[in-house]
């Protein structure tokens, strides 16, 4: 199965980066508010440059940059439906099943404009209408650190 990661990234602005392994690269979207387990939430996801797959597990501070990154969630994913991920993305709609530590079940990425996608949780047993997973589970799934701890050099 291909891999995915969601990193929390403090650069000039705090945001999350959703990365999906597709055809040997990490297709990436900046998600300002991060993912949600509530099906009613529509989270803006702005496509950003592909990254190398090694970046899926990057945590720390980039040399020479004023930033900090934690791996907020990671795991494997499956594409829902018949179309391969690249074709689904080219068509503007990709549904996946995530097998992460925090994010599980169906999620959809839908293009709503030239540089604008929406990330939504699909209705299934893993939807959590009363929970704010970003607020409740802030720590890295790799090291247990918070972004603030990495930022402080812990």
Any idea what DSSP says for residue 122?
P
* Minimum CB distance to Mn ion smaller for 9 or for 145: 9
For 103, 133, 145, the CA distances from 127, given in Å and listed in that order, are: 9, 11, 25
* Minimum CB distance to Mn ion smaller for 9 or for 43: 9
Region from 11-19, 51-59, 77-85, 89-97 binding Mn ion, contact rule CB under 5 A: 11-19
The one among 5, 8, 9, 89 contacting Mn ion by CB under 5 A = 9
Sign of CA dihedral 101, 154, 135, 64: negative
Does residue 17 belong to the site contacting Mn ion (CB under 5 A)?
yes
Of 76, 72, 67, 60, nearest to 150 (Cα)? Answer: 60
* Minimum CB distance to Mn ion smaller for 49 or for 130: 49
Interface residues with Mn ion (CB under 5 A) are 9, 17
């Amino acid at each position: 199965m291909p891999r995915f990661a969601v990193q929390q990234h403090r650069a000039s602005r705090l945001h999350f980066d959703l990365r999906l392994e597709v055809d040997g690269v990490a297709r990436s979207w900046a998600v300002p508010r991060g993912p949600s387990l509530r099906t009613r939430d529509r989270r803006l996801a702005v496509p950003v440059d592909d990254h190398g797959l090694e970046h899926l597990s990057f945590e720390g501070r980039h040399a020479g940059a004023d930033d900090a990154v934690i791996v907020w969630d990671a795991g494997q994913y499956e594409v829902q439906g018949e179309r391969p991920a690249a074709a689904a993305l080219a068509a503007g709609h990709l549904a996946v099943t995530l097998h992460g530590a925090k994010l599980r079940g169906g999620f959809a990425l839908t293009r709503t404009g030239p540089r604008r996608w929406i990330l939504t949780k699909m209705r299934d047993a893993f939807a959590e209408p009363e929970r704010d997973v970003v607020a409740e589970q802030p720590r890295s799934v790799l090291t247990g650190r918070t972004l603030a701890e990495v930022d402080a050099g812990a």
